[in-house]
Structure 1
Amino acid sequence: MLSNTAQLFHHVSSLIDHVSYFLNAAPLASVALFTLAVIFVWFVSSSTWQYYRLRHFDGPVLAEISNFWLFKSVDSGRSYLDFWEVTQKYGTIARVGLNDLVTDDPAFVKHMCNVKTDYRRSSWYDGMRFNPTSNNCLSTRDETAHTALRSKMAAGYAGRDVDNIEAKIDTNVREFMGLLGRYADRKAPVDLGRKVQYFTLDVISDIAYGAPFGFVETDTDVYEYIKTTEKNLPMVMVVTVFPWLLRLLNNPILKGLLPSAKDKLGFGRIMSIAKDVAAERFKPDVKAERDMLGSFIRHGLTQTESESEILLQIAAGSDTTASAIRSTMLELCANPDILRKLRQEIASANIAGDVISDSEAKVLPYLQAVIKEGFRIFPPIAGLMSKEVPPQGDTWNGVFIPGGTRVGYSIWAITRRRDVWGQDALEFRPERWLNVSPDKLKDMESTLDLIFSYGRWLCLGKSIALIELNKVFVEGTR
């Protein structure tokens, strides 16, 4: 045994000596050619091994032999459609990359995300690190750290020790309606999609740390935040698929390409604001505020964690809610009969104040059906949110999935499954949520809730988003 080991060591040492001699003696061009050859051999062998691991899953040919199909899809901005089409063509679990699968099976998604699951967040979540140097609750992959973060923020998101969340939303609704009213008075065209994003950004900044950014008040893209975000969003989605790009961009040579708190405009300016707001709250003897950030700090959030969570609230909390409002309003405008029914229900409702309360809105069945159907027909989350299969692998419906595989889910495909939603699943029809059996309604609602993730990774901001929607559709249509 020792003799064999000694011989192996001798052969390896000899090979290293030969390679070292070649690198030292050969011309630079030869060394470069040799390096390229080694990289090529590594790439081919790695790709072949990855292909072999998942060969029993079908998908686009290019996705089976490389990650180029996945890159092209997320870079195009239509990945949500591509993933839906893939599941339609290749099955409920399909291949979209060398180590990536996508599913439209709601039961499988719940299996991956339940509180006792062995699945973990995959490297996809590294791309959700809005501050490149620190994690937030969404990008944190370590389960112990993630659980600790959620426990510090749960009370704030639930509003248990935050003053006047609904009142602040009401104030921002009034400001938003006033802005639209001014356009109407002038009979001027208005870009409703853009103004909606002004509204959601002001709401989240107001309830998160006590003051709206002023998008609605100034009727401008403050700090050119929206312009910069829209420009850079495709790159963010590419990083979720290729997280090594984030490490590359953090290299000192390329770091200047990333947003910085020194920037005067764009996302970097928002980073600077987050840094300043957090620093102000951690000054000695500062008065504890009764807003969400104050709640987070009272429950143990550090200054660095506070900066990251402010960024997450702004980037994720505003855009998703704005998408839900815009898409649902578009459907209401395109379906006058549905809009008429909604207006009739609102007109007959007993609304006490000038802005409907959350509790009043929750008892309006057609309004709730419209909100649910809006989420279903255009889910505001398009990313894969991939989870990593546990090291020992997993078997689902008799099919083995190797450990380490990234499995994402297409929420667009899930909300179009005819076995859940009926043969008219492609139509915007709020009536599907009414006059349905309790069991069927429960199944539909639990499937729709996957928009907000599930189990241990359920979105903390869900309740706040629903309050905004309950109010804006009433005030915007009556």
Structure 2
Amino acid sequence: MFVPHKDIHSTFDECSAVLRLAYLYLVATVVSVQAISPRVVELAMESLNDSLRNLSTMVMGNVFPMIQDACDVDWRQQSLYLSSLLQRLKTSPAVSALLGRYATLLGTSLLVWYVGTSLASWVRLRQFPAASWLANFSYLWLAKTTYSGRQYWVHRELHRKHQSPLVRIGPNELMTDDPDVIRRISAARSGYVRDTWYITGRFNPYHDNMFTVLEPRAHKQFKSRTLHAYSGRELPDFEAGIDEQVQTLVDTLRRKYAAPAAGNAAGKRRQGAPVDLGPISCYFTMDVITRLGFGHEFGYLQSETDLYNFLGGVRDLWPRMSTSADIPWIRNVLFSKFFLKLLGPGPKDKEGFGALMAVAEQHVGRRFQEGPDSKKDMLSSFIHHGLDQTECEVEGLFMVVAGTESTASAIRSVLVHTMSTPAVYSQLKAEIATAVRSGAASSPVIKNEEAVRLPVLQAVIYEGLRMRPPLLGLLPKVVPAGGDTLAGHHVPAGTAVCVNASSLLRSEALFGPDTDVFRPGRFLDLQDPEARAAMQRNVELAFGSGQWQCVGKTIAFMELHKVVFEANQDKLFRRFDMHLVRPLKPCDVLSYGVFLESNLMVRVTEAAQMETAQ
């Protein structure tokens, strides 16, 4: 039985109060207790004692019952004893004398240690411009940027502002938007390894998945056992599984939201209601990845329900998850054995990661009982390539989390930018109509091999990805022993070099002078196929590069091809016309490692001419 969400926050609030008061008391002793009113010190100690007592009651009543069976200790009695001891210590003359003698020394030592380590940190990377003076010796700038919800916009302007391909964002962190640097640090024999930032991808926090394995050789071995599943090479109905969910999306839009086209039997069907693309896009991608992964979709789209409150729970957690990932000492605490034992998720939870852990365990456990060949899906491929039951559970959970919000975000970006640009919208609709009439597009759902041959569709998708990357994570790699030279600068060993996809995809050197404009024509204007392919490869850096490239890229592009052509996420381009309800401000958006949109309202109308063209 884990601590209720509300109680956890109350516990953290108490911890925060205790730490603030303790810090103030320490500062008081450093400055000199004699210079502060005795009444102020007394009030501070009383407040500290009260906070400790409240914290003790909170912890003993909510947290320690979880481990009482494992520890033969009367925790409540111990807490009362500690509280009583604190009261006696507070009024003890001996303690007061001890504090008077040693507290100043302790405080001064801590201050000297902090200043010394901060100075050493600044010196290591002093040759690089810093995002803020705070970034030279602390993580305050990085924490503020990540938690603000404006991560994307701040990162996007970072290198323009400082006119440098390498910008310091933390005491040991550099960020780059140079494609050559990104490819170098991701190359197979570069000597770079993943930073501990990646451990925050342990959505089952007790075991590694392919994303969180840090050592290159171990990662390569793990990847070799999962690559066949993610590529679909061994799964005969891989693409058909995606087609099924596209059809479900089409049916849902037509049944619940689409208004009849002009010329239809007017009056016999109700006018369609606006549809919020934010949740429905996530329902679609969730059902796609669970259909491919476990052979059966979870049913988010058909029910239009956030089952297990998983998507909502994860969305609520993104600000804290992203901030924790970017701040080393926080992630070290959160993924410590002690913290996980007290507050980690578990399969008995009713919602969130714990609930999804239980679902993954259920599906994987059943498959190991029935045998891997009972279904031909990604799970069967995992088993055939040597993953044990625990590894399948962990990888299955990661696959679901990683394959949902990021791909849905990419779909939304392409759709919103296309809907907001009438000329592009008309051009794409014309290509779709031509493909349908000529038989170049299969029915009821276009095949992936057909989609890649449609130049306007490809340009729209790549431009939508360029305007807004699916993921905003730092993805840091650690410089090997001896250091390295990046963009003409020596970078010391042990430095974490982070990827700035937000800035990279707005690079005028790579994409032309109008990079803030959604213009798919930048790809179509390139007559040289090699030049066009090179520009597309630069966009694909948003999925990583080399040995660290996202293995889910194949699935993501397949979903994009089919949804943009068939359903355009909300208003199937083949079957529907779509219009933003609020064209001047299509949605409310925040960025915390991924984009979180809300109120992305769209009106859907059946395209009568397109229907007759099929």
Report how far residue 415 of structure 1 moved. 0.6
Report how far residue 304 of structure 1 moved. 1.7
Corresponding residue to 1:297 among 354, 360, 383: 383
Equivalent residue number for residue 276 of structure 2: 191
Question: What is the percentage of aligned positions where both structures have the same residue?
Answer: 38
Q: 1:285 to 1:99 in 2, by over 3 A?
A: closer
Q: After TM superposition, list the pairs within 5 Å mapping 1:404-443 onto structure 2.
A: 404-436=494-526, 437-443=528-534
Give 3-state SS (helix, strand or coil) of 1:141's partner: coil
Equivalent residue number for residue 173 of structure 2: 100
Report how far residue 211 of structure 1 moved. 1.1
Q: For residues 292 and 441 of structure 1, what CA distance do their matches in structure 2 show?
A: 33
Equivalent residue number for residue 443 of structure 2: 353
1:360-396: CA deviation from partner (whole Å, max 9, x where unpaired):
2111110011111111011111111011111211112
Report how far residue 30 of structure 1 moved. 5.8
Is 1:240–2:306 an aligned residue pair?
Answer: no
Q: 1:304 to 1:55 in 2, by over 3 A?
A: same
Equivalent residue number for residue 463 of structure 2: 373
Which segment drifts farther, 372-381 or 156-165?
156-165
Preserved CA contact (<8 Å) 1:132 1:246? no
Is 1:170–2:243 an aligned residue pair?
Answer: yes
Preserved CA contact (<8 Å) 2:203 2:397? yes
Equivalent residue number for residue 70 of structure 1: 142
Preserved CA contact (<8 Å) 2:165 2:487? no
Q: For residues 445 and 474 of structure 1, what CA distance do their matches in structure 2 show?
A: 19
Which segment drifts farther, 318-327 or 276-285?
276-285
Equivalent residue number for residue 456 of structure 1: 547
Equivalent residue number for residue 313 of structure 1: 399
Q: For residues 419 and 505 of structure 2, what CA distance do their matches in structure 1 show?
A: 21
Equivalent residue number for residue 309 of structure 2: 224
Please tell me the residue identity of whatever aligns with 2:406: T
Q: 1:283 to 1:399 in 2, by over 3 A?
A: same
Q: For residues 359 and 101 of structure 2, what CA distance do their matches in structure 1 show?
A: 52
Equivalent residue number for residue 469 of structure 1: 560
Report how far residue 25 of structure 1 moved. 12
Is 1:322–2:412 an aligned residue pair?
Answer: no
Q: 1:247 to 1:203 in 2, by over 3 A?
A: same
Report how far residue 286 of structure 1 moved. 6.4
Equivalent residue number for residue 419 of structure 2: 333
Which segment drifts farther, 121-130 or 223-232?
121-130
Corresponding residue to 1:45 among 100, 116, 121: 116
Preserved CA contact (<8 Å) 1:69 1:96? yes
* Aligned CA-pair RMSD: 2.0
Count residues with an aligned counterpart.
456
Q: For residues 230 and 423 of structure 1, what CA distance do their matches in structure 2 show?
A: 35
For normalisation by structure 1, the TM-score amounts to 0.91
Q: For residues 241 and 278 of structure 2, what CA distance do their matches in structure 1 show?
A: 22
Report how far residue 261 of structure 1 moved. 1.7
Please tell me the residue identity of whatever aligns with 1:184: A
Kindly name which structure, 1 or 2, has the bigger radius of gyration based on alpha carbons: 2
Report how far residue 26 of structure 1 moved. 7.1
Please tell me the residue identity of whatever aligns with 2:362: D
Preserved CA contact (<8 Å) 1:114 1:456? yes
Q: 1:378 to 1:24 in 2, by over 3 A?
A: same
Preserved CA contact (<8 Å) 2:203 2:353? no
For normalisation by structure 2, the TM-score amounts to 0.71
Q: Which runs of 5+ in 2 are unaligned?
A: 1-93, 260-269, 567-571, 575-614
Give 3-state SS (helix, strand or coil) of 1:447's partner: helix
Corresponding residue to 2:127 among 56, 59, 84: 56
Report how far residue 245 of structure 1 moved. 2.4
Is 1:87–2:172 an aligned residue pair?
Answer: no
Q: Which runs of 5+ in 1 are unaligned?
A: 1-22
Which segment drifts farther, 461-470 or 238-247?
238-247
Preserved CA contact (<8 Å) 1:342 1:366? yes
Give 3-state SS (helix, strand or coil) of 1:184's partner: coil
Q: For residues 36 and 320 of structure 1, what CA distance do their matches in structure 2 show?
A: 46
Give 3-state SS (helix, strand or coil) of 2:279's partner: helix
Report how far residue 254 of structure 1 moved. 6.5
